[in-house]
Structure 1
Amino acid sequence: MFLLAETTTANTGAVGYLYTYGPLVLMFVVLYFLLIRPQQKRQKTRNQMLGSLKKGDKVVTIGGLHGTIMEITDDICVLRVNDATKMTFDRSAINAVSQTTAKE
């Protein structure tokens, strides 16, 4: 009687691991594709945007300040806010390059 119980549990051992750890592995795969992968794509596009900044670009900072790039180095960016005001920011403080259309 006990031998029969031992043989049935030994045969279902591999299937038991699948039922035990399968949902856990599935949750990690789903979390990867829902959270980690999109964040990596956003970070890649942000790094490309920061790498392609050049003098004369109109940008918006993370604080919402609009300006035009006057000088740019590897980690510092000088923005002209109006005719008399120049402000210095870290390059990482640039949030977006503003797309302005030409007015007719």
Structure 2
Amino acid sequence: MAMVEPRVVVPLRRRQEKRGAERFEMELPLTVGNAGAGTTRDLSVSGLSFTSRQPYVVGEEIDVTVEYLLDGHNFPLRCRATVVRCDASPGGFTIGAKLNTAFVE
């Protein structure tokens, strides 16, 4: 039986797209500061969007920790980000944030 190579499909950027970097859809758990929790919707090298039960103020700086597994090990990605949008959505809010700094522990 032949092995199937994994692949990631990356959509081409559309001309009307205003973002500076391609975003990848993925759902990962995250925390904001010491209290807020949510789930990522998408990530890029310059920003992310996530769902949250609580709103955030546009312009607010937040500390975000995205949890992801690699080879069975948890690697938290800690980010400092600025909220650029906060939209009401079913069950809470969709937050868009621009990454200021990030590091992996």
TM-score by length of 2: 0.31
TM-score by length of 1: 0.31
Question: Computing the radius of gyration over CA atoms, which structure comes out larger, 1 or 2?
Answer: 1
Structure in which a larger fraction of residues adopt helix: 1
Higher relative contact order (CA 8 A, sep 6+): 2
